[in-house]
A and B are shown apart, each in its own frame.
Chain A
Amino acid sequence: MLSCKDATRRMSEAEDRELALSERLELGMHLALCKGCRNYQQHLHVLREACREYREELTGGEEKGKSGAPAPSSGR
């Protein structure tokens, strides 16, 4: 059984490489039983989405204003 600490690491790695089937199963079993780690997974998804919006707001062309993300340089 994975520890919560190992599970957080595996959730992070899942964003950077393809997990092996056995790794996915092990993580899935842990998440099924652990609310704290399911919440951690939600937080990683929010973080990724925030990075995407922030990046698009800075680098995008005429998409500006579509999301709520302000260009960080403005208003400083």
Chain B
Amino acid sequence: MSYHAPYPQPTGEPAIIDNAFVEHVRRDMLAFAQLQLRDAALAEDAVQDALTAALTGGQEFAGRSALKTWVFGILRHKIVDLIRQQSRTTPISAFGDDEDSLDQAFDSLFKENAHWQPAHRPAAWGDPEASLRDKHFWAVFDACLTHLPKNTARVFMMREFLELDTGEVCTAAGISTSNCHVILHRARSALRGCLEKSWFLAGERPC
């Protein structure tokens, strides 16, 4: 099985896929795997395996884009496999100290009757499209993702970054559907709170 390149490539590695490009893809892969796995050694292994499989598989690629898409496809499978293996020996728990403190922070937004505290009622975020074009926003977003506790992050990232459906996420994590929903809601609430505090309201406070 091989990709049909639009032009015959010279034998060996096509010139467009040089060491600098592989190094660049490797960096992006490591960032992606580290966000998912929260374990530098595991992330390194997953990236190495995926790159080796991609570059020694005898595949031909029509270009850089095709290569990158291919290796990230392999990396996704490696990451899910690793999470699945780990969740067999160390089940992902929906409840731990880090998770408790996120839940407490979330609960504190509400009054006893479970409606918003007036001071914490969500306000409209002004011009989010402009934020998504601002490089400073992405630094904040990256920091907010990195601050999620490990188990919460793994479940959330499987859903939003590996694009698994909820059933696949729960199965890989070895948890019930209802725990899955609890964790995803917790992750979204934490990220929402983090973006609000560190970005959307950060410039609006009087000094």
Do A and B pair up? The answer is: yes
Q: Is the CB of A71 within 8 A of B31?
A: yes
Q: Looking at chain A's contact residues, is the secondary structure mostly helix, strand, loop, or mixed? A: helix
Partner of B64, one of A16, A44, A61: A61
> Which chain B residues lie closer than 8 Å to A36 at the CB level?
116, 121-122
Q: What's the Cα separation between A47 and B72 when bound, in Å?
A: 22
Question: Which B residue sits closest to A48, measured CB to CB?
Answer: B160
Within 8 A of A (CB), among B184-206: 184-185, 188-189, 191-192, 195-196
Question: Which A residue sits closest to B189, measured CB to CB?
Answer: A8
Q: Is the CB of A55 within 8 A of B185?
A: no
Q: Is the CB of A16 within 8 A of B132?
A: no
- Shortest distance between the CB of B64 and any CB in chain A (Å): 6
Q: Looking at chain B's contact residues, is the secondary structure mostly helix, strand, loop, or mixed? A: helix
Is B89 at the interface (CB under 8 A from chain A)?
no
Q: Is the CB of B132 within 8 A of A59?
A: no
> Which chain A residues lie closer than 8 Å to B72 at the CB level?
59
Within 8 A of B (CB), among A34-59: 35-37, 39-40, 42-44, 46-55, 58-59
Given contacts A8-B189, A58-B31, contact A39 B159 (CB under 8 A): no
Identify the 8 closest CB pairs spanning chains A and B, nearest first. A61-B65, A3-B114, A68-B133, A36-B121, A12-B185, A39-B122, A5-B114, A73-B31
* Interchain Cβ contacts under 8 Å between A and B, 20 examples: A3-B113, A5-B110, A8-B185, A12-B189, A13-B181, A39-B122, A42-B125, A51-B160, A51-B161, A58-B31, A59-B69, A61-B66, A61-B69, A62-B64, A63-B65, A69-B132, A72-B31, A72-B35, A73-B27, A73-B31
